[in-house]
Amino acid sequence: MNKELLESIARQLVAPGKGILAADESTGTITKRFAKINVESTEDNRRAYRELLFTTSGIEEFISGVILFDETIKQRANDGHTFVSVLEKKGILPGIKVDLGTEPMSESLLELVTKGLEGLDERLKQYAGFAAKFAKWRAVITIGEGIPTELCIEKNAEQLAQYALLCQQNNIVPIVEPEVLMDGGHTIERCYEVTSQVLKTVFAKLNEAGVYLPGILLKPNMVIAGSESIKSSAEEIARLTLQCLHENVSAQVPGIVFLSGGQSEVEATANLQAINAMKGDTSAQDNTPWVLSFSYGRALQTSVLKTWGGKSENITAAQAEFYKRAKMNGLASKGEYFGE
């Protein structure tokens, strides 16, 4: 484990004004997204769409890294260059999703655990050969009647810690993603309670496993009400999110890159702005030690997909849309976004 290397990659990913594009949708997920715009999910269409994103001019001003899917890290652009080299040429770090999705937990069928630890070390070595500099593993926590259970939180936290350690042993920076889902009618207070418990358990397990915290990034949900509940203001989301992070996240972690998790594009940007604006207000939160940025999928891509619609004549307009969303979030990560 090269600690200096891990720390320098982690810091590069949270360089000022930059965040991460999550373009790691599994084939099943991207098929659903394509269905909404009436595009068939063939390998060539998926490749064409990702090429549109990665070749957008100027995105390196706001995007530090891209999380790729297994299929994508092996693909090439039309000019024959690998997608990895297309990104590297822009100074953007290539990353890779290494979990294999979720399955119901045998002890509690309404809850999920993540698959993919088996054979992970070999896969990481293969991805390192493809020049992946960082990885992502997503754990999913559902809020509902009598859930999450402590067992579910423990199991997912243990897996995240094992994954993170294996990444670091292969000199790959792990993004640790414990996502408390927005699905449901729970209040923002309930989200705060569960997110606190999850983060506390995750950091206990990371420490137990001997994970080097300055060489990871955390990708949590914001503290936010369930999608079927009354919407909270950006200020309340920011206040409770910062409070939750201060209580549960080690100051050694260099950066926190939020997931958008069901928020609309503009909401995800506005909430990131509110968090960074409040972070800068010393009366609200003293000495926030981490860079607070983004690792968004849908919140960077929804309008891009709609604009593209699978048609090559729409590529330029779709790229303009992607550049705009990347720029808006880049500004929000510095507390400098003042509306569209």
Q: Which residues are catalytic?
A: 177, 219
Nearest to 268 by CA among 188, 176, 330, 214: 330
Place of tokens 């929000």: 332
Bridge partners (DSSP) of residue 231 are none
Q: How far is CA 236 from CA 25, 39, 224, 240, in A?
A: 30, 39, 9, 6
- 221 closest CA partner among 281, 188, 178, 184: 178
The residue assigned the tokens 């550049």 is 323
Whose CA is closest to 97, among 131, 54, 135?
135
The gap between the terminal CA atoms of the chain, to the nearest Å, is 43
Interatomic CA distance for residues 118 and 95, integer angstroms: 20
Burial status of residue 120 (CB atoms within 10 A of its CB: 0-12, 13-18, 19 or more): buried
CA distance 259 to 177: 8
Answer whether 92's CB lies under 8 Å from 63's CB.
yes
